[in-house]
Amino acid sequence: MIAILGSVCAALGALLHVYIFVMESVQWTTPRVWKVFGISDQDTAERTRGMAYNQGFYNLFLAIGAALGVILFWVGGPGSVPEVAGRTLALFALGSMAAAALVLLTSGRRYARPAIIQGTVPLIGFVLFVFA
């Protein structure tokens, strides 16, 4: 049961990070998105586009790691190479997501809500995978 809950949290964390990728790397210069990230105008969105594009791919790679980790975890039997590799990959990806949220939290009080949104589910998934 713990493994199932951990996998659900990992999948939700991965989906969230894919969504963040889309916003940062694909839709960054649309007013709806740049307002979400506190960008005040189109010119600033254009000037920060490269940074956001790069950051979005970081989020995508974390999502891929979490998803691949879950897949490998369930493909292998207990103690098998795929199970151990999957657990390790999931823990790394989820831990990185939670750590990134912690870094965001240290950026200022206005980032508390996004940090909580970004980091809570991956942190829960990380803890569950440790005990799975």
- Domain ranges within the chain, ordered by starting residue: 2-131
Q: What is the pLDDT of residue 76?
A: 84
pLDDT tens digits, 63-96: 999 999 999 999 988 999 999 999 999 999 999 9
Model confidence at 132, pLDDT cuts 50, 70, 90, reads confident
What's the mean pLDDT when you consider all of the chain? 95
Counts of helices then strands in the chain (DSSP H, E): 6, 0
Residues in the chain: 132
- Region 109-115: what's the mean pLDDT? 90
Q: What is the pLDDT of residue 77?
A: 87
Q: Quick check: 129 and 10 in contact, CB under 8 A?
A: yes
99 Cα distance to chain centroid = 10
